[in-house]
Amino acid sequence: MIYLDHAATAPVPTEVADAVREALVTQYGNPGSQYPVGREARSLVARCRATVADALGCRAEQLVFTSCGTESDNFAVRLAAWQGRHGGRHIVTTAVEHSAVLEPCRQLEQEGWTVTYLKPDRSGNITAAQVAEALRPDTALVSVMLVNNETGCVFPIREIADALKAAGSAALLHTDAVQGFLKVPFRADTLGADLISVSGHKLGAPKGVGALYLGERVRNPRPLLAGGGQEDGRRSGTEATAQLAGFAKAVELRRANLGAALAHMAEVRAYALERLLAIEGVERVGSGAAPHIFAVSLVGYPSANVIEDLGAQGICISAGSACHRGRTSHVYEAMNLPKKVKAGVLRVSIGPETRKSDIDALAAALKNHRDSRFPML
């Protein structure tokens, strides 16, 4: 199998699976229990928090563990809305955010909030000037992702933070960094965002674990989930020690060779673009600079047919976020692409283990699909 859909989820390394098993078998206690096996589990959670926080560039106490990136995004949006509700009920976000941000924003609209959805240019980019222009005195939240999960465009979070400061805005700044964590270098303590969402399974951790960074301007966060008061009262629910162990191990492995991994992915991505764009009928979609995600279009050939054909050959790619499940991507809709270009979009996302020979196989399969009389639009 040739796996080129790392933006959907990453393969789990053996070392991560071993760490998960170890936690399940020998550290199975409830971290809230006071006897030894409970204290061991509590110590494990603390070590995992320190590992992930160090990689994110923040203090351990600023990190809240969640069940996934979606929960982290929902938590951030709802938290910011609650904190800023007395100062205003306006949100600025983008039309190309992940659904985990867009859907809670739409829920808030139904509750009387106003949301401004910034559209990207044809290259998929959003500027800090767009955000600054959209700010209002009653803006409580600005939510802009760090890396778009379908185009690979990197958005200027530091510049946006500076724009909010220059405008004297009290709005909290949230960024969905699920596709950026340990792929596009940044530190929470210098990025300028008040809230940062990350996920484990994009790095090779098991599915079902994520985290939310809480900056200094976040005051007395109202928990998204009420209950037993875990995570310092910020997120109730018995800690998922096995998933956390896998998350920490995946972070350790990625950080151990991060520079080499990023350089390799960037090299493979450049090679992939060169090979694919040399195929007649293939066009670049967006101008994403992330080292691991890019999009192209086999213009006029429905992407669902291409994905099914390549999948039968053992080549895994997608048309966009796995959350769309075959529906047209709102990202490509927002970019106002021509109909035939939009219909043929393919997302390629790579990992540290992706080889140039994988790209050669993809290029050959795409060329063969184009030449094999598959139906066009």
Q: Cα–Cα distance between 58 and 218 in angstroms, integer?
A: 14
Tell me whether residue 323 is one of the annotated catalytic residues: yes
CA–CA distance from 377 to each of 122, 266, 335 (Å)?
22, 33, 20
Q: What are phi and psi of 279, to 5 degrees?
A: -80, 130
Mark residue 281 as left, alpha or beta (left: phi above 0; alpha: psi -120 to 50; beta: remaining): left
Token pair 């989930």 in the structure block, residue: 225
Q: Cα–Cα distance between 249 and 268 in angstroms, integer?
A: 25
> Distance from CA of residue 321 to its chain's centroid?
10
Contact between 195 and 173 (Cβ < 8 Å): yes
The H or E element containing residue 346 is: strand 345-349
- Out of 58, 68, 316, 323, the active site residue is 323
Please, what sign has the CA dihedral across residues 197, 25, 233, 36? Answer: negative
DSSP output for 113-135: -EEEEEPP-TT----HHHHHHH-
Nearest residue to 66 via CA among 234, 249, 254, 220: 234
CA–CA distance from 49 to each of 54, 57, 143, 168, 244 (Å)?
8, 12, 24, 33, 8
Contact between 53 and 247 (Cβ < 8 Å): no
Q: Cα–Cα distance between 286 and 120 in angstroms, integer?
A: 10
∠ CA 135-137-142, nearest 5°, is 40
Q: Cα–Cα distance between 299 and 341 in angstroms, integer?
A: 5
Q: Active-site residue numbers?
A: 323
